[in-house]
């Protein structure tokens, strides 16, 4: 079966590869339609590793996916052949202590698509547990279905923030996850969300949404923008979604006393953390790793029309142009938010 294979750091090939397609009693087989290009996929391509996850042998990329069910296992009751679905890419050990606590996203044994040594889904067909496969409503396209995975990260962040209706939030970083965190915060009850970045094109996209105020920190102090909106009190919630160590400098100045700092972005360099500043404001600090128990809620929010992710899809590439899609993503063009690959003909 043809797939987009990361042979080693910096080398991609679109070639045939043997992948297991046996359908177990609780599994479904899915014909892949659309796959999003994620920053982690690109990082494996350009760096060959993310932390302790190192590409040591060829690996199929892709984990943001939607498609059509083509076969169901004998024990599957909620899905049928022909159903349009999206898939949660992390499969935990359901008997683990983490899973029993409801935090299966941090199960040490979780198998996550396109995370070494687990293959991803940039290939025409995959087999996946039905329990982590979700039917798409008729008004949700495959392209939107493939956006559920990154939106679930934003929804996890909004959930961890424990939003109170009317809260004012700030999102640092206007990449795909930053914008989706802002949209999730609005859906969760925030009255307004300020989103900061250096990229004018991305801020212009974020600013199209009602309730989001873009702040270009080349031109405006984020602290001044927050002070203006909150009469100097500070934001109720600050979401750090850039992963930049510089963003952590003075971050507690943005927060009101007793507010929440939610860490979403993953720095690749050490971060100086101002413990006294966090204590003086008795800040609540939350962290986000992927998502748990919110994939179906993400689908429902998109279907309701309260969250529109379509403006975030910059371009869709044909499967045969997958390598070009990754080369484009690796450039990090300021006008690009989300690139997708259409696997089906």
Average per-residue pLDDT for the chain: 97
Residue 268: the pLDDT is 80
What mean pLDDT is predicted for residues 4-11? 97
**pLDDT reading at 284 higher than 80:** yes
For the segment 238-253, the average pLDDT, to the nearest whole number, is 96
Q: For the segment 85-100, what is each residue's pLDDT rounded down to a tens digit?
A: 999 999 999 999 999 9
Q: What is the pTM of this model?
A: 0.96
CA distance 170 to 288: 16
Which residues does 115 contact at the CB level (< 8 Å), separation at least 6? Answer: 40, 53, 63
**Token code pair at residue 164:** 């109170």
Pairing between β-strand 111-112 and β-strand 168-172 as defined by DSSP bridges = unpaired
**Right CATH number for 153-287 from 3.40.50.880, 1.10.3720.10, 3.30.479.30, 3.40.50.720?**
3.40.50.720
pLDDT surpassing 80 at residue 345:
no
- In the chain, CATH 3.90.180.10 covers 2-147+309-342
Average pLDDT (24-47) is: 97
| Sheet bearing 11-16, strands edge to edge | 11-16, 2-8, 59-60
- Find out whether 254 and 223 touch, Cβ atoms under 8 Å: yes
Report pLDDT digits (tens) over 173-223.
999 999 999 999 999 999 999 999 999 999 999 999 999 999 999 999 999
**Which has the closest alpha carbon to 321: 156, 141, 122, 142?**
122
Say what the pLDDT of residue 51 is: 84
Distance CA 175, CA 242 (A): 8
pLDDT digits (tens, 9 = 90+) for 304-340: 999 999 999 999 999 999 999 999 999 999 999 999 9
Given pLDDT bands bounded at 50, 70 and 90, which one contains residue 256? very high
* 252 and 281 Cβ atoms separated by less than 8 Å: yes
Q: What is the CB neighbour count within 10 angstroms for residue 10?
A: 11
Beta bridge partners of 66: 34, 86
CA distances from 325 to 38, 45, 91, 260, 331 (A): 11, 12, 27, 37, 10
pLDDT at res. 239: 98
Residue 165: pLDDT over 90 = yes
For residue 301, what pLDDT is reported? 97
C-alpha distances (whole Å) from 81 to each of 44, 135, 190, 221, 236 are 34, 11, 40, 54, 46
CATH, range 2-147+309-342:
3.90.180.10
Q: Which pLDDT belongs to residue 83?
A: 98
Mean pLDDT on 30-41: 97
- pLDDT attached to residue 18: 95
What pLDDT, on a 0 to 100 scale, did the predictor assign at position 6? 98
């Amino acid at each position: 079966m043809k797939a987009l294979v990361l042979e080693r750091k910096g080398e991609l090939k679109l070639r045939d590869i043997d992948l297991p397609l046996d359908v177990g009693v609780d599994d479904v087989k899915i014909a892949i339609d659309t796959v999003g290009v994620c920053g982690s996929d690109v990082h494996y391509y350009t760096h060959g590793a993310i932390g302790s996850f190192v590409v040591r042998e060829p690996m199929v990329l892709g984990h943001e996916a939607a498609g059509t069910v083509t076969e169901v296992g004998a024990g599957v009751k909620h899905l049928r052949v022909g159903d349009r679905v999206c898939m949660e890419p992390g499969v935990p050990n359901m008997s683990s202590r983490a899973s029993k606590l409801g935090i299966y996203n941090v199960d040490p044994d979780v198998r996550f698509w396109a995370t070494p040594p687990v293959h991803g889904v940039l290939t025409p067909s995959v087999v996946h547990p039905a329990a982590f496969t979700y039917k798409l409503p008729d008004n949700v396209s495959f392209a939107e279905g493939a956006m559920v995975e990154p939106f679930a990260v934003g929804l996890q962040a909004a959930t961890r923030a424990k939003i109170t209706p009317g809260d004012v939030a700030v999102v640092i970083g206007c990449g795909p996850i930053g914008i989706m965190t802002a949209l999730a915060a609005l859906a969760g009850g925030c009255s307004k969300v300020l989103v900061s970045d250096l990229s004018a094109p991305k801020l212009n996209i974020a600013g199209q949404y009602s309730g989001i105020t873009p702040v270009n920190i080349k031109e405006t102090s984020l602290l001044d923008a927050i002070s203006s909106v909150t009469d100097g009190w500070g934001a109720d919630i600050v979401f750090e979604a850039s992963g930049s160590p510089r963003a952590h400098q003075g971050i507690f100045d943005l927060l009101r006393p007793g507010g929440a700092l939610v860490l979403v972005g993953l720095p690749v360099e050490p971060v100086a953390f101002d413990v006294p500043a966090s204590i003086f404001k008795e800040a609540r600090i939350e962290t986000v790793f992927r998502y748990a128990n919110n994939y179906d809620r993400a689908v429902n929010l998109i279907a309701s029309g309260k969250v529109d992710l379509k403006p975030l899809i910059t371009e869709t590439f044909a499967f045969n142009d997958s390598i070009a899609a990754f080369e484009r993503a690796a450039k990090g063009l300021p006008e690009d938010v989300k690139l997708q690959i259409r696997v089906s003909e």
